[in-house]
Amino acid sequence: MAIPLDVGLVRLIVSLALGALIGFERELHRAPAGLRTIALVTVGSTLYTLASISFVAPDADITRIAAQIVVGLGFIGGGVIFQAKDTIHGLTTAASVWVAGAIGLMVGIGAYAFATATAIIIMLILWFGTIEKKYLPHERM
């Protein structure tokens, strides 16, 4: 089933917007993966999803590409995690990259409401994390 060009382009643009939103927040906090990285992850996940829907045989399993997106993003996320002395940095960014792929996948299948709701939830989590760090420094936890 080929996806019409206009539908595919809308999905890519929505994916870009949602990824850029999350990426901008990471950029503000000088995270290892920021606006460009997370936007690329969402757009790439959307494109792979569109490809899996559009260019497979009728009896093929389209979920195989989705599964590989999850695995590949775990690998990329692992690259932004690093240890310095007794602390680990980059876990939140790695999780943001991982969930950005899921958002891109959902946009790719046309589930805009789920993707948008997830992006909003992620932004709230990241925002509350900033409040937590301000009022509950790790030394006091």
Owning domain of residue 35: 5-140
Least confident of 9-13, 26-30, 48-52, 137-141: 137-141
CA atoms 41, 98, 119, 107: torsion sign: positive
Its pTM stands at: 0.86
Give the tens place of pLDDT for each residue, 57-116.
777 787 888 888 988 888 888 877 877 777 777 888 889 999 999 999 999 999 999 999
Give the tens place of pLDDT for each residue, 107-132.
999 999 999 999 999 999 998 877 77
Closest CA to 66 of 12, 109, 112, 23: 109
The larger pLDDT score, comparing residue 33 to residue 38, is at 38
Neighbours of 110 (CB within 10 A): 17
Neighbours of 91 (CB within 10 A): 12
pLDDT band of residue 137 (cuts 50, 70, 90) is: low
As a residue count, the chain comes to 141
Between CA 112 and CA 28 the distance in angstroms is 26
Q: What is the count of structural domains for the chain?
A: 1
Per-residue model confidence (pLDDT) at position 140: 47
